[in-house]
Amino acid sequence: MNRRDLLALLAGVATVPTVAFAQQAPVIGFLSGRGEGESRYLVASFRDGLREAGVVGGQNLVIEFRWADGGYDRLPAQAADLVQRRVAVIVAVGAVSAIRAARAATSSIPIVFVTGDDPVRLKLVASLSRPEGNVTGITPFTQQIEPKRLSILDDLLPKPAKIAVLLNPNSPGTGVRSNEIEAAARTLGRQLDLLSAGSAGEIDAAFAVLAPHGNGGLMIGGDPFFNAQRDQLVSLAARHKIPTLYFAREFIEAGGLISYGASIAASYRQAGIYAGRILKGAQPADLPVQQPTKFELLINLKTAKALDLAIPALLLAQADEVIE
């Protein structure tokens, strides 16, 4: 064998693993109702979960991203496209509409979801412990602990003050949640205003209604749309000097006053772990829907000072983290 033939043979052998990888690397479909830019930190947590499960994007895995950017009507076509591409798993996040679009597109490809609402009530799974079918996931229950959030805001504000709650009318189950919040307000003896916003313009309009009232407080209902609009919400609360309670740490890091809820990033990390386990042979029906083990109370004292608001000592004592 001459030198040219030997080099050609070695070059051919060297290309075999690359070709094999291209043919064999599994593909995860990542379907989100949110936008790519504001989801980067969540995708990073999702990749952390994949690594924890032993798979790494770009090495032994390909991830196909589909972003609806709040245009939920795009999700059915995006889900159908992922099915057509024969992805191994679909991760549906950022809106219940994404999960429903994935379920409508396939009954065989495993689906891993993240939703703050009750997946049993939404009929996404048969039960938390035994999901059944091809669907399982993570629920931080951001929408099921709102009576507790209301009680925190009740502790924060003087008794005569009225509390407003901002909900997304486009979110499934908003009617049920409204009833639960109203019942909690009656128990607390608080006057309550329920406001709706499903767009940036409607958020502006809601604050325009709140601003003239004064001395009241606002609770932001748990919803992916509001998380995507957190800079707008925090800015408006500061501008109108409205004490506002949020549902996730991200709002406090953006300058918000107080939040109570589970870590959204941790939920995405767990979704990555589940997706990795499924790629290694686990069945969705055998993976119970995961729930948070801890809810965090965070308080931003710098924001409280800007609002001329004294935080009760009891709340400060209960806080998991106080930002000075």
pLDDT confidence tier of residue 11, bands split at 50, 70 and 90: very low
21, pLDDT greater than 50: no
Contact 120, 254 (CB under 8 A): no
pLDDT given for residue 213 in this prediction: 67
- Predicted confidence at residue 10, as pLDDT, reads 42
Q: Is the pLDDT of residue 288 over 70?
A: yes
User: Is the pLDDT assigned to residue 142 strictly greater than 90?
Assistant: no
> Which one, of 125, 133, 62, 75, lies nearest residue 105 by Cα?
75
**Per-residue pLDDT averaged across 280-307, rounded?**
94
184-211, pLDDT tens digit by residue?
999 999 989 999 999 999 999 999 988 7
The 10s digit of each residue's pLDDT in 206-250 is: 999 887 766 689 999 988 899 999 999 999 999 999 999 999 999
Question: What number is the average pLDDT over the span 279-304?
Answer: 94
Helix (H) or strand (E) holding 239: helix 230-239
At 18 the pLDDT is 36
pLDDT of 56 over the 80 cut: no
- pLDDT greater than 50 at residue 6: no
48 — pLDDT class (breaks 50, 70, 90): very high
| pLDDT of res. 41 | 94
Choose between 105 and 174: higher pLDDT: 105
pTM: 0.84
Which are the contacts of 307, defined by CB distance < 8 A and separation ≥ 6? 238, 241, 243, 257
Q: How large is the average pLDDT for residues 121-143?
A: 91
Catalogue the E-assigned strands of the chain. 27-32, 62-67, 89-93, 111-114, 135-138, 163-167, 192-196, 217-220, 244-246, 258-261, 296-300, 321-323
